[in-house]
Structure 1
Amino acid sequence: MERNLTHIALFAALIAVLGLVPKIDLASGVPITAQSLGIMLCGTVLGAKRGTLAVLLFLGLTALGLPLLAGGRGGLGVFVSPTAGYLVGFPLAAFVAGLVMEKWRAPVGMAAFGGAFLGGLVVLHACGIAGMAVVLGKTLPEAAGLALPFFAGDLLKAVIAGAITQGLARVRPQALLSRG
């Protein structure tokens, strides 16, 4: 139990630290950040349940007003901004990435990439695009066009998440809770 809480808190902190990497603002109002890499790693390393809890802890602290999102944003206002759909998608993305790691018995690197891709690209962008459509008053195809610049970077983040997870499995297999 104590080990689980430590991992959950550590990965919530990892997401926050990745928010310190300078963001790139797009015209849609949604920034390109490194935080989605943290979301992917929550799932691939911690698994579905713990990964989701780490993301929910991060979002709870953000809702309380801590400036944990990229660019030092926080508070309830971010949940009604153009990024709201992505924020809703964060725990779902971590859950899907973790579920793929837990259920798919492919080699660790392949399963981690697959989980990060399905969670961090498919699920996260589906939620983000829907959120942008609602908040910005766009159609789904228009909102998808606004999200298009994110796809290449998120594909790269999925590759990085797969490599990090595979490396962790090699040096500390017991730390890979998604395969425990």
Structure 2
Amino acid sequence: MTETTTRVRNMALTAMFAALLAVAGQIAIPIPPVPITLQTMVVMLAGSVLGARMGAASMLIFILLAAFGVPVLSGGKGGLAALVGPTAGYIWSWPVAAYLIGRWTERSVPRLRFWKLFLYHAVWGIAFVYLCGVLWLVYAVGMDWNAALAGGVLPFIPGDVVKAVLASTVALSLFRAYPIIRSRAGKESAGTEKPA
């Protein structure tokens, strides 16, 4: 595959995951203050399938579209106001979560295992996102800690564990069939290799 072809493929995949994130936001159970959606699963897959940079880029494209008013957020919302609302902490955590999932996944290639993917998804795709979301609910929205945890974490735990299992299964299957992600260790060694 030529460099140009690879670049075009990567751009298409990055855009595709941004679109998937938008579609996942429209499949929602609208409970306050944070609706239940499939978006966290897409965040997990963006990192573990595309890798750190492309995964984070796909999330940033999504946020940029939302900022320009495109109705890609849950419930067909868009605009800057939606990016500073109750769900903002979760949304802004997604690029970082995808990057960290991708970074750790790259470090596990080629010895990628289901339990490793599940661990990365659980730590960065669930716990880290919860942390950012709850901190926003408390310090920006003004909720107390108990209310933030009750409304912004507890209802999501069972579903997010299932999403992490599904994302890990899908990511591992894609890696074996059509590996997009490359070893971070391999990239670093290639970058430091000197010609003979």
Could you tell me the TM-score, scaled by structure 2's length?
0.83
Aligned residues: 176
Q: Give the distance between the partners of 1:132 and 1:178, measured in 2 at CA.
A: 36
Residue in structure 1 matching 2:128, options 123, 126, 143: 123
Letter of the 2:159 partner, please give it. Answer: G
Letter of the 1:65 partner, please give it. Answer: G
| Partner of residue 26, structure 2 | 20
Residue in structure 1 matching 2:148, options 138, 143, 157: 143
Asked if residue 94 in structure 1 is aligned to residue 101 in structure 2, the reply is: no
Deviation for aligned residue 1:43: 0.3
Alpha-carbon spacing, 1:13–1:179, altered in 2? closer, same or farther (3 Å): farther
Q: Give the distance between the partners of 1:178 and 1:71, measured in 2 at CA.
A: 35
Q: Give the distance between the partners of 1:107 and 1:58, measured in 2 at CA.
A: 28
Q: Give the distance between the partners of 1:178 and 1:72, measured in 2 at CA.
A: 35
Q: Give the distance between the partners of 2:140 and 2:158, measured in 1 at CA.
A: 24
Deviation for aligned residue 1:136: 2.9
Structure 1 runs of 4+ aligned residues shifted over 4 Å read: none
Residue 105 of structure 2 contacts residue 112 of structure 2 at CA under 8 Å; is this kept in 1?
no
Asked if residue 85 in structure 1 is aligned to residue 94 in structure 2, the reply is: no
| Partner of residue 190, structure 2 | none
Q: Which runs of 5+ in 1 are unaligned?
A: none
Could you tell me the TM-score, scaled by structure 1's length?
0.90
Residue in structure 1 matching 2:61, options 53, 57, 64: 57
Percent pairwise identity:
37
Q: Give the distance between the partners of 1:107 and 1:45, measured in 2 at CA.
A: 12
Q: How well do the aligned residues superpose, as a CA RMSD in angstroms? A: 1.7
1:125-178 CA distances to partner (integer Å, 9 max, x unpaired)? 1100111112331233441232211111111111110011111123223xx325
Q: Give the distance between the partners of 2:80 and 2:182, measured in 1 at CA.
A: 31
Rg: which structure is higher?
2
Letter of the 1:144 partner, please give it. Answer: L
Q: Which runs of 5+ in 2 are unaligned?
A: 1-6, 185-196
